[in-house]
Structure 1
Amino acid sequence: MSDYEQLHRYLIDSMTASGSLRTQPWRRAAETVQRHEFLRGGFFRLVPGSTPSAWSPVLEGSDGWLQGAYADESLVTQIAGTIKPTDIRGEIMREPTSSSTLPSLVLRMLEDLRLEPEMTVLEIGTGTGYSTAVLCARLGDDYVTSIEYDEEVAQRAQGALGRHGAFPALLTGDGLLGDADRAPYDRVIATCAVRTVPTAWLEQTRPGGQILTTIGGWLNASELVRLKVDGDGTASGPVLGGHVSFMLARPHLAPPLGLLPDLTAGKERETRIGADVLRDWTTRFVTQFAVPTAQHLGLQLDGRNEDALVDAETGSWAALREESGYWIVRQDGAVPLWDVVEEHLGRWHAAGTPAVEKATVRVTAEGQSIHW
């Protein structure tokens, strides 16, 4: 047995033991797809201890490349929108923009999608093509369509899938618009996070069909959600939990805030909920449904540390500081941001702050909401 076969077998057995790979059909599909074939262009590894984060390339055939390809971890494959591992010698300090998702999460999501033979699936975000190949192995090429936003990433995925012998329908474009030409689909799965579930996905999913996506936001918390599409243009379903994190779809990234409003103005009052709650992942996820266009930043005013929420659409803001064990909020603008946060989190607290796995997300033409 070759080195990659041993590493592949160990990965499959590990995913089965952890519960990510739960059924024989998906295990058989995963066994046919060698992950290293989709990482021939290499990947970036985080430089230990680097601040800000620095990345160094790991190229095909180098020490650690094959072992990394079969590690159950996400691997960065593009930085700053255009830079590939083969473009770099040394280190680079820029933000990752594309990656190969850790295999256990890929298989967990595919299991959670509840696919059956002869169902059609639309995948948003081809990436390296690894998850696309697993879908093809399970369903057959004719039932799989995948959309990739980045043309160069799409070309590399197409090459890797072709070498693997998989030939699904591959599209390049804005996955948030879906694929009206081949719709409706039985299932839609997204390998990027969205701030709001696109209307196009609802329209292009059969009534009774399902959408599996990660809902995130500008407060930097996200969760995996499975939505059942109704015939009236709405959808609802459970939060599956697990603190699942994907890069936000590029059109959903937070805009630059630009010139900040005068954060020394506004009206002050004491608040029963302080900014410290925003250190918690689940609280941030819940809060995002109340103030979906707000961003959180830390700042110093008059020599003291403050937390601020600034709404990118309305310009409204709230600044919070702690004094003698009490929290003081100062806010201004068309929308009293912290009042909205207090009301929303107050309902969650009144329900006993249930885990997100007990929550349901509902999507309508008016927006999306979370319920317990």
Structure 2
Amino acid sequence: MTQPTTGAEAAAPPMPPPHGATDTTAARAAMVTRLEEAGHLRPGPVREALLALQREVMLPHAYVRVSGPGADPIDWRLLDGSHPDDQQEWLDMIHSDASILLQRDGEPLDSLPRGPVTGGHMTSMSTYTPATVETLQTLELAAGQSYLELGPGPGVSLALAATITGPGFATGVERDGHMAGFAQRNLDRLGVGAVVVEGDALDGHQARAPYLRIHSGIGVPCVPRAWVEQLAPDGRLLTTLVTRTPSWPGQLLVTRSPDGSVQAVLRGRPRGYRPLLGYRWLNTWDHRARIKAVPGTARTTRLTPPPDDAYGFWLACAYLAPGLVRNFQAETMTIVAPDDDSWAMAGPGDGTVRIHGQRDVWAELEEVHARWEQAGRPETYHVDLTDGAGLQHVTSGPGPRALSWALPALATIPRQAP
């Protein structure tokens, strides 16, 4: 594990914006206005940091996907923010709500060729901006707080956090050496005083612990013990809990009281962070054409397709009906069990559903929904992180009708050396 130089130690002066200062300032202001009007951003330090941070320094290039869904190999186009022909498209993109694609297949980032390129898969990207805003506001980040970011990638959220906390308080742990160096160089150019350490994010960073605020930019199946141990009294830890489906992620907020006790609350969310390396999501790509050709056998059902924002129900499905994934591009609600070659599709009319395969996917949803209603339609769940054996148990509350399950052990996920 290496310790890069901080902004104060680096000799490089701040980099001027590659585009006109007026253009970048106006782009940041427009981004903030859009986030406010959408209800994502409220007055406070996160808003001020968004206005102040020169995103163009942290995101000097961006990949654009040219190929359509399912293409293999994938065609990309790299926008170079310093090239006149790319500047306006690049400037608009890095100030949009899109996740900015930065790195293919762990490649070095010092001199990427501008223009078309074929093949590879994205291994690092910036976070969807509304999600970054939600995270930093949920953490209630303030000046002078020690902050740890796990898996910062290009470091945009780390730079925002450092802008809020002040120099010397923000640390990131990044396993990819090329990305860690890239982020550190850009942070140094901004002079925000943040440090990126190359290492395994699952271990946190004991050298600068404890932390008042910890944020994971990678999804994990359960909470690594090191993260909890490195959380200071009055501290907050925020992470995504992932299952094999990307459809129904959970957001876990861990707080430590002044007396040292820990509370953890899990809630369903419309989106979450990608899982750590070695954790493979299910998908519906290989089944979409088959479902269209053979939608399945129709039967009646008393379960009306639950709304997308019934997050407490869908989160329970991720654990109590495992191995399912939703095709959000389908015209009607379509849930697939890829490993079992089974699916369910709402319709063709009210009160009907089509099912196919050895697994009655819709019957499983009916059962979970009935249990969820009996439990009082919970939207949040408590997670017990105190089990000495390492198991982390989830429950919707007391009583025999409560929903409950255990989180998968972290040891089941391959750990890859940096």
User: If the length of structure 2 is used for normalisation, what is the TM-score?
Assistant: 0.67
Note the 1:1-372 alignment, pairs <5 A: 2-40=22-60, 42-47=61-66, 49-52=68-71, 54-60=75-81, 61=83, 62-63=85-86, 64-82=89-107, 86-87=112-113, 89-221=115-247, 222-229=249-256, 235-239=263-267, 241=269, 243-253=270-280, 282=311, 285-290=315-320, 294=323, 308=337, 330=358, 344-351=368-375, 353=377, 358-364=379-385, 365-371=390-396
Q: Residue 149 and residue 33 in structure 1: after superposition, are their counterparts in 2 closer, same or farther (change >3 A)?
A: same
- Whether the 8 Å contact between 2:321 and 2:368 is mirrored in structure 1 is no
Higher strand proportion, which one? 1
Q: Residue 232 and residue 34 in structure 1: after superposition, are their counterparts in 2 closer, same or farther (change >3 A)?
A: closer
How far is the alpha carbon of 1:80 from its aligned partner? 2.8
Q: Name which of structure 1's ranges 91-100 and 212-221 shifts more when overlaid on structure 2.
A: 91-100
Q: RMSD over aligned Cα, in angstroms?
A: 3.9
Distance in structure 1 (CA, Å) of the matches to 2:106 and 2:215? 23
Q: Residue 10 and residue 175 in structure 1: after superposition, are their counterparts in 2 closer, same or farther (change >3 A)?
A: same
- Whether the 8 Å contact between 2:375 and 2:396 is mirrored in structure 1 is no
- Whether the 8 Å contact between 1:113 and 1:187 is mirrored in structure 2 is yes
The aligned residue for residue 263 of structure 1 is none
The one-letter amino acid of 2:318's match is Q
The one-letter amino acid of 2:79's match is V
Distance in structure 2 (CA, Å) of the matches to 1:350 and 1:39? 48
Q: Name which of structure 1's ranges 227-236 and 43-52 shifts more when overlaid on structure 2.
A: 227-236
Q: Residue 240 and residue 325 in structure 1: after superposition, are their counterparts in 2 closer, same or farther (change >3 A)?
A: closer
- Whether the 8 Å contact between 1:121 and 1:186 is mirrored in structure 2 is yes
SS at match of 1:21: coil
User: If the length of structure 1 is used for normalisation, what is the TM-score?
Assistant: 0.75
Q: Residue 110 and residue 321 in structure 1: after superposition, are their counterparts in 2 closer, same or farther (change >3 A)?
A: closer
Distance in structure 1 (CA, Å) of the matches to 2:233 and 2:377? 32
SS at match of 2:264: strand
- Whether the 8 Å contact between 1:320 and 1:330 is mirrored in structure 2 is no
Q: Residue 215 and residue 371 in structure 1: after superposition, are their counterparts in 2 closer, same or farther (change >3 A)?
A: same
- Whether the 8 Å contact between 2:166 and 2:193 is mirrored in structure 1 is no
Q: Residue 175 and residue 308 in structure 1: after superposition, are their counterparts in 2 closer, same or farther (change >3 A)?
A: same
Q: Residue 168 and residue 14 in structure 1: after superposition, are their counterparts in 2 closer, same or farther (change >3 A)?
A: same
Q: Residue 325 and residue 28 in structure 1: after superposition, are their counterparts in 2 closer, same or farther (change >3 A)?
A: closer
Q: Residue 368 and residue 251 in structure 1: after superposition, are their counterparts in 2 closer, same or farther (change >3 A)?
A: farther
Q: Name which of structure 1's ranges 186-195 and 226-235 shifts more when overlaid on structure 2.
A: 226-235
Q: Residue 339 and residue 203 in structure 1: after superposition, are their counterparts in 2 closer, same or farther (change >3 A)?
A: farther
Distance in structure 2 (CA, Å) of the matches to 1:83 and 1:151? 9
- Whether the 8 Å contact between 2:300 and 2:353 is mirrored in structure 1 is no
SS at match of 1:162: helix
Q: Name which of structure 1's ranges 223-232 and 54-63 shifts more when overlaid on structure 2.
A: 223-232
Unaligned 5+ residue runs, structure 2? Answer: 1-20, 283-298, 328-334, 346-351, 398-418
- Whether the 8 Å contact between 2:266 and 2:383 is mirrored in structure 1 is no
Q: Residue 344 and residue 368 in structure 1: after superposition, are their counterparts in 2 closer, same or farther (change >3 A)?
A: farther
Q: Residue 153 and residue 349 in structure 1: after superposition, are their counterparts in 2 closer, same or farther (change >3 A)?
A: same
